[in-house]
Chains A and B, each alone.
Chain A
Amino acid sequence: MLRRLIARLTQRGSPSDAEIERELRDHLELDAESLAASGRAAPSNARSAARRRFGNVSGARESVRDVWRWAWLEQLEQDVRHGVRAMLRSPVYSLAVVATLAMGVGASTTTYTIGRAIHTPFPQLPQDRLLWITYGNAGCGVDCTQLSPAGFAALQQRARSITAIGTYNVGTALRDPSGSEPVRGFAVSPETWTVIGARFAAGHGFPKDAGFEGGPHFVVLSYDFWQRRFDASPGAIDSVITLGEQPYTVVGVLARDLVFPTAADVYMPHRTTAAEAADHASRYLNVFARLAHGATIQQAAAEVRTINAQLVRESPKTDSGWVMRARPIAAYHTDDLATLESISDIAALLVFLAACMSAANLALARLSARRQELALRAALGVRRWRLARHLLTEALLLSLAAGALGAVLARWGVRSMRDAIPANFAAFVPGWARMGIDPHVLAFALGAAVLAMLAFALLPVARATRVDLAAVLAEGGRSSAGGGGGVHGTRMRATLIVLEVSIALVLLTAATLFARSVRNMTRGDAGVRLDHALVMDLTLPPRGSDSSRVDFFRRLDANLRDVPGIRAAGVGTTTPLSNNFSGTAFDIPGRAPQPDGRPLSGIGQHVTPGYLEATGVAIEQGRGIDERDVSGTQRVIVINRYMADALWPHTSAIGRVVKIGDSTWTIVGVASNVHHGGLDEEMRYTLYRSVYQAPRDFGVLAAWTSADPDSMRGVVRGVVARTDPSVAVGNMMTMEAMQARHVSPYTMMAGMMSVLAIVTIAIAAVGLYGLIAYGVAQRTREIGIRVALGAGRRDILANVGAGALRLTAIGIAIGVIGAAMFARLLTSMLYRVSASDPRTYVAVSLGLLVVALAAAWVPSWRAARVDPTVALRE
């Protein structure tokens, strides 16, 4: 049968035109011969006589050709028409199958597409040849910091298996006559573009002499920045733009979607100077490398280890205990997201399985209903092959309809996921912004759905056409035990229901755990003011002096104080919850060194007096930073509660001394704890100093407003511009939005899981309903007898309900085990809720049980109302 199907589909055996031609010519020749032989034509004109008799040769050839040409299409058309009729005959079944499969294809394609976007962070680069060099130690983690210029220079000069490049973040501002706009920039080694294999949308990389101190300034733009600021004009190349206060010549625009190492606007060349190369202490370089031709990542890793050991010998004071490691570049983005990726992959698979099972279940149910029809048709002489083809076409039509609808759903799903993600997350998942449906994934899901449907379409063929016709026909629709394939089918359907319930439980558990994380997070105390608070980045001209900066901060403070609608405002180094902070190493005189030899380190905040009040940080002990703390007076410092409790657990920290670099700072106050990283990160030591005593050239401005913070945006921007027009204001946002940035990945996961869980629960509930209803229909006679023999409605209800309960219970039991395994994967993504939280499991199980019982209630109730006189007469 299969061979014939293939032969048909490929039109194997179809003769070529030449072959047909030859056959017909042979005929003519033979005809001519026989005409001549029988004497009915003279040999000389036998040929033309034969041709006359034959008639139109090309007409005959065409009709032979048509036999082959249209056969396939004609039968297909017939089958399709038959299939469509069959679909329309049972619209509920068709709708249920299409909806179920479409949801499965849509949900799993969406989820899997997200996984793929996460998995391919550098779609434009040769990811398999690029490495990321991590730096860290046993205590803080393998990649807790960046390399020192000395470490980078060592890699650049000594490593043979790799070519290393370094980058570091540069916040600067683009100036034009209309004002200043902050831009995200990276200083990169001049040879970066060749090393990473970057392509350019316009122009080229840095010239050979770029990056020397005092030399001309060059800049490469990102594609997005080029589009946004230069309208993608080719004229941007070779034009001169002002960044900070320096003119830069634009030499190139990176290819679209090329993100390196995170989303940025501009790239400036930086060459590590000899003086820098001696610096082992500052760690600020993100180092990447390309494997030399023929080198393996193992060789590179070994060489990096060797160089690391040399560095430790050369500068033990700064480098001992620290480890460099070579890792694939994808790890730069995907380390934290690998879990997310596997979670979404597994969820996608589960939903897809549930959808296929459900479709199978429906197909099996329909088989029961159609056995008579099929048997009848077989008895009437419809060939089995023909019957199979009808069923296959029907299944194919259903799954194609489902696939089309699923593709639409997936398109919508991917779009809404893409828009749901906040900008900060998108910056770390470079593929996110342009995430689209991966055609391979969709094709795979579609193919799998079609195959699943075909498999379950063939099941009835194998069964229905082989069953004893007489038995099936005699049985009528009233079989009490579901003879023939019935028992088998029912058991299979029950198994599928059990599995669907367990998958629903797994997804519902995951959704609940994420939802609880979100709730814990939004309810949790971040330690800062979230409402009526506005924060923004300030970028000061880089060439200014310390005194000019101090002067700017003081005038800004004064100007903001008089603005109606602002309760308090101040400048700091980093915004709470921004996850954008730098460590300040410090020392406590007289304290024994850390057991691991690392220096103490905390978050350094350089603030103006109004900052702590503006962000809602409370002074719990001593005093805050105030107007007295200026250059020339005693250097003072305020530390957070966490630091005070950790370092001076038994005494007061006030009056103690902290050494930062070469200067000593006296602790005058203890402030309440604030999360500077994510809400889900652990607390860190925090050191607040006065910006007047420790000036910085960049900072953040925080304002506590009495009016709606959004309405104050323009006012605050105006005050900054009035104070100094060369200062750029960027990333202005409310603290609520800042918090949402942390919560949104969790909200996203919770939302995604909830949708998947609801889809699966709906699928399982429909399946359970169908199974029980079918069972009741089949048992109508039996129930009638029971009622006639005196069974009460309650007994019948219990009898039927018990079956549903049993299936659900088994499903829940399996599901709980599966959920526990799945939840272990989630652990790192949960916030203040345990992956094995018993309350969640109990609640989810009960919830699912209620849904299942509700689904089983309707058919059970119908069973209980069976009228014995009617049921028995039927």
Chain B
Amino acid sequence: MPRPDQRLELLQGTLDMLILKTLLFGPAHGHGIATSIRQATGDALVVEHGSLYPALHRLQRDGFIGARWERAPDRNRELKYYRLTAAGRRQLAHQESRWNELVRAIGRIMTPVPET
């Protein structure tokens, strides 16, 4: 596990995109989302709980994700599961394309392709 100062800071608004992307694979609860982001980035990104839950609720408020208390498959109790809505899918597509543009634009500056 990297030391805290080796972790990456998330760009503003990127957390939303990551949450949406994570939910693309199916409903998950907050802990599950945090875990899969952490695992997928090899512990490089650790989502702080203080920012995860406000983000989840903001997305829910804006109608991009829905929430429901459901019985967890491996335990005898209900957990709050989030799922992507249609608007959330569109939002994800929108953010993804913007993200790609951003990455390309920054990439051009950082690693210019020599002109042929």
Which A residues contact B (CB, under 8 angstroms)? 4, 13-15, 19-20, 22-24, 26-27, 30-31, 34, 54-56, 59-60, 63-64, 66-68, 71
Contacts and interface: CB of A to CB of B under 8 A. Distances in A.
A567 to B, nearest CB: 88
B61 A26 contact: no
Contacts of B32: 30
Contacts of B27: none
24 contacts: A13-B60, A13-B61, A14-B61, A15-B57, A19-B80, A20-B53, A27-B30, A27-B49, A30-B31, A31-B31, A34-B31, A34-B35, A55-B48, A55-B49, A60-B49, A60-B50, A60-B54, A63-B53, A64-B53, A64-B54, A67-B54, A67-B58, A71-B58, A71-B61
Nearest to B62: A71
B29 interface: yes
Given A27-B30, A34-B35, A59-B50, A67 B61 contact: yes
Interface residues of B, number: 19
A71 to B, nearest CB: 6
B63 interface: yes
A71 B30 CA distance: 21
B63 A26 contact: no
Interface in B18-49: 29-32, 34-35, 48-49
Contact of A23 (B35, B48, B53, B63): B53
B79 interface: yes
A21 to B, nearest CB: 11
A318 B15 CA distance: 99
Nearest to A11: B61
Interface of B: 29-32, 34-35, 48-50, 53-54, 57-58, 60-61, 63, 67, 79-80
B60 A27 contact: no
B58 A54 contact: no
Given A13-B60, A67-B58, A68-B61, A24 B50 contact: no
A286 to B, nearest CB: 68
Nearest to B46: A53
Nearest to A60: B50
Contacts of B35: 34
A60 B51 CA distance: 8
A71 B53 CA distance: 15
Nearest to B57: A67
Contacts of B60: 13
Given A27-B31, A30-B31, A34-B35, A64 B57 contact: yes
Q: Among A14, A54, A55, A60, find the residue whose CB has the most chain B CB atoms closer than 10 A.
A: A60
Nearest to B50: A60
Q: Among A26, A31, A55, A56, find the residue whose CB has the most chain B CB atoms closer than 10 A.
A: A26
A15 B32 CA distance: 20
B50 A56 contact: yes
Given A60-B54, A68-B57, 15 more contacts: A23-B53, A26-B31, A30-B31, A34-B31, A54-B49, A55-B48, A55-B49, A55-B50, A59-B50, A60-B53, A64-B54, A67-B54, A67-B57, A71-B58, A71-B61
Closest 6 CB pairs of A and B: A30-B31, A67-B57, A63-B54, A23-B80, A64-B53, A27-B31
A22 B79 CA distance: 9
Contacts of B80: 19, 22-23, 26
A66 B31 contact: no
A56 B67 CA distance: 24
Contacts of A34: 31, 35
Nearest to A65: B57
Contact of B30 (A19, A23, A55, A68): A23
Nearest to A23: B80
A23 B31 CA distance: 10
A60 B29 CA distance: 16
Nearest to B80: A23
Q: Among B49, B50, B53, find the residue whose CB has the most chain A CB atoms closer than 10 A.
A: B49
Contacts of B67: 15
A20 B48 CA distance: 16
A59 B49 CA distance: 10
B31 A24 contact: no
A23 B61 CA distance: 16
Contacts of A59: 50
A68 B58 CA distance: 8
